Amino acid sequence: MLNILISAIKVIFLLGILVFIHELGHFTVAKIFKVRVNEFAIGFGPTLWKKQGKQTKYALRLIPLGGFVSMEGEEERSESEGSFSEAKVYKKILIVAAGAIVNIIFAIILYFFLVWYYNDLSYAFMGIKDFVFSIWLSLKMLFTGGVSINEMMGPVGISSVVAKTSGIADFIYILSVISLSLGVTNLLPFPPLDGGKIVLLIIEGITKKPINPKVENIIQMTGFVLIILLSIIVANNDILRIIK
């Protein structure tokens, strides 16, 4: 029972850190560009804790499997001051990309200090190169058919790996790998991932006008449904691997 509790704490702690720094990236860049953030939330579902700031409501929700930064004019166009929809396209792209970029930087810093501590500053730089290259190679194999869906790992599989970590170094290594994977995956040009949103914003910048909201909603919903279906397949495979 104690082992189960410890494993659950490790998983929740890891997910909480990664979600927090991801959403903090969006939040910080939005604030820099004076875009109004209505809510900064960690988790989904019922609210466990909330605090209303001068402009932003900060909330901690029950299900620790994600989070969000809700900006004025993000879902529906708004002409009010500080609206996301009224910001320049390059600012919107930087805001959307910030979460993934922070995850990648966080992962590289973690891995650098981990390798440096157990080896030395030269091995650390070499390790970072190999670390980043391994993720790039995995993505390349995924798109070229070198990796099948059966080999992919979702939240269930990741949780299983995190639960089996022993020692702080092992945990930090897994934290860095998942953070880098999360950052790179989020930049893939597939809606509703951040990369998909960036593609739509680039189109907006080229055409000099926003994409039709109805068309954008169809694109986002189609992508969302496909990701949900993929997540179900991957989760099923994760469970089958665990119980074997």
Known catalytic residues?
23
16-to-11, 163, 175 alpha-carbon distances in Å? 8, 15, 11
All residues at 6 or more sequence positions from 2 whose CB lies less than 8 Å from its CB, including other chains = none
The DSSP H or E segment spanning 124 is: helix 123-144
d(CA 204, CA 69): 22
202-225 as b/e, with b when 16 or more CB fall inside 10 Å? Answer: eebeeeeeeeeeeebeebeeeeee
**Cβ atoms of residues 51 and 97 within 8 Å:** no
Specify the amino acid at residue 155. Answer: P
d(CA 38, CA 46): 17
